Structure 1
Amino acid sequence: MARRTKVYEGKAKILYEGPEPDTLVQYFKDDATAFNAEKREVIDGKGVLNNRLSEFFMVGLGQIGVPTHFIKRLNMREQLIRACEIIPLEIVVRNVAAGSMSKRLGIEEGTPLPRPIIEFCLKDDKLGDPLVTEEHIIAFNWASQQDLDDIVALSLRVNDFLSGCMLAVGIKLVDFKIEVGRVWDGDFQRLILADEISPDSCRLWDIETGKKLDKDVFRRDLGSLTDAYTEVARRLGVMPANSAPATKPHLIN
């Protein structure tokens, strides 16, 4: 690690220069944060689980034709990814009212939405990642109208895939956040899915019990975050079905 050049460090991941041009190494930390990093804790094994789960989802999306930055998993905490220019937006796809939507609109948490709703937030921790409209995005040149059309189409495909994956193992996909980046293929620009997909960036509820299996466990002090993420990994087949929850889980290669 010491020999690498750090490119960026966020709340949950570190990016290092990759071994080849236009690549990066993405390292998953054990840090858990909430409320714009006002609440922070190190949870042993969290980065290992998120690395493996994000690989699982990125590979699956790639197989159905969704372009992503993922190249391959390198080890338990790192993956090789394609470098891209991140569009400064967080794209939130909501299937059920929860979290900030319930607070903003006064909708009871758990209320199914009539259709998936896509929201955009400006990526700026100092401002608290404020909600923005398509008019803001286009006016301030964060993305073009064509970019937004492509982002919406990509987001809905991701939603369909993740919803199906989760439903098959008895989990409700309440909402999730993604990021999108630009890459160039010759003279042509295209958009790809970037960052990660893990229980850190999704709300996941057990269909039968409503038990939370995502970062709300940490936000709301509902128990062990590692146990919740391990349960998701186990149901998806990322971990052996008979494995016991552990702070340093053994994952299937």
Structure 2
Amino acid sequence: MELLYKGKTKDVYELDDQRVILKFKDDVTGVDGKFDPGANTVGLSIDGMGKSGLKVTRHFFEKLNHLNIPTHFLDADIEENTMTVLKASAFGKGVEVICRYRAVGSFIRRYGMYANEGDKLDSYVEFTLKDDERGDPLITKDALDMLHILNKEEYDEIERLTKEICGIIREELSQKGLELYDIKLEFGRVGEDRHIALIDEISGGNMRVYRGNEYIEPLDLEKMILSK
């Protein structure tokens, strides 16, 4: 298979005209050797992280597909750390969408004059550009439209899907005594009709989850999510 792209946490290989293979790696985002799902650089490598992330991603994508929520997911091979997905085109050079239920991380760094660590937020959705050089800047609906990255109708659809998807994940976690603080998603255009669909992954490396005041590490989170 032809290597199309080497990413921070996954490599992408071409399978055919319609499908690609995502190879999950043990690298995770962070700063100064500490894991941070909101960081835009690889901070460290955690043994088993790739397989763990793939297991959780498969779990949630299969659930979303069953609920007829559009995703690019087709299949996963846990032993090979690979996921087969439909090809997707990015919005611009990539847009990430964060849904926040608690004020932590970059939200507090930006708005700490008005919010306290851990304040509750009402499914707050924000869009950022995938741009390492500029620190993945926030961007508004109007700017996305004016820069022809995505139009206002697409923005509204992504925001709606984000709240629906994150609500499903949040509810499942709450049933296990866990609280979702925030989560990062990515969307793209998929298929001949170029419909909007959830792409990339849904894993412990993309979310902050707590049990009471205890932060749950991604590898521990996988075991909790997949436990019967």
Same fold (TM over 0.5): yes
Q: CA RMSD in A?
A: 1.5
Cα deviation per residue 1:17-63 (whole Å; 9 max; x = unaligned)? Answer: 11x32101001101122145556222111101001111111111111
The corresponding residue for 2:172 is 165
CA distance in 1, matches of 2:46, 2:194: 39
SS for the counterpart of 2:70 is coil
Q: CA deviation at 1:82?
A: 0.7
The corresponding residue for 1:141 is 148
The corresponding residue for 1:78 is 82
Q: CA deviation at 1:10?
A: 1.1
Q: How does 1:160-239 map onto structure 2 within 5 Å?
A: 160-185=167-192, 188-206=193-211, 208=212, 210-213=213-216, 228-237=217-226
CA 1:16–1:39 in 2, change beyond 3 Å: closer, same or farther?
closer
Say which one has the larger Rg: 1
CA 1:103–1:192 in 2, change beyond 3 Å: closer, same or farther?
same
Aligned residue identity for 1:98: V
- Establish whether residue 42 from structure 1 lines up as the match of residue 61 from structure 2: no
Cα deviation per residue 1:58-106 (whole Å; 9 max; x = unaligned)? Answer: 1111111211111001233111011110222111111111101111111
CA 1:42–1:153 in 2, change beyond 3 Å: closer, same or farther?
same
- Establish whether residue 7 from structure 1 lines up as the match of residue 4 from structure 2: yes
- Establish whether residue 96 from structure 1 lines up as the match of residue 102 from structure 2: yes
The corresponding residue for 2:62 is 59
SS for the counterpart of 1:147 is helix
The corresponding residue for 2:117 is 109
Q: Under a length normalisation based on structure 1, what TM-score does the superposition of the two structures give?
A: 0.81
Q: Under a length normalisation based on structure 2, what TM-score does the superposition of the two structures give?
A: 0.90
SS for the counterpart of 1:200 is helix
Report the count of equivalent residues.
216
Give the one of 14, 17, 22 matched to 2:14: 17
SS for the counterpart of 2:173 is helix
Cα deviation per residue 1:168-207 (whole Å; 9 max; x = unaligned)? Answer: 111101111111010233xx3310000111111111111x
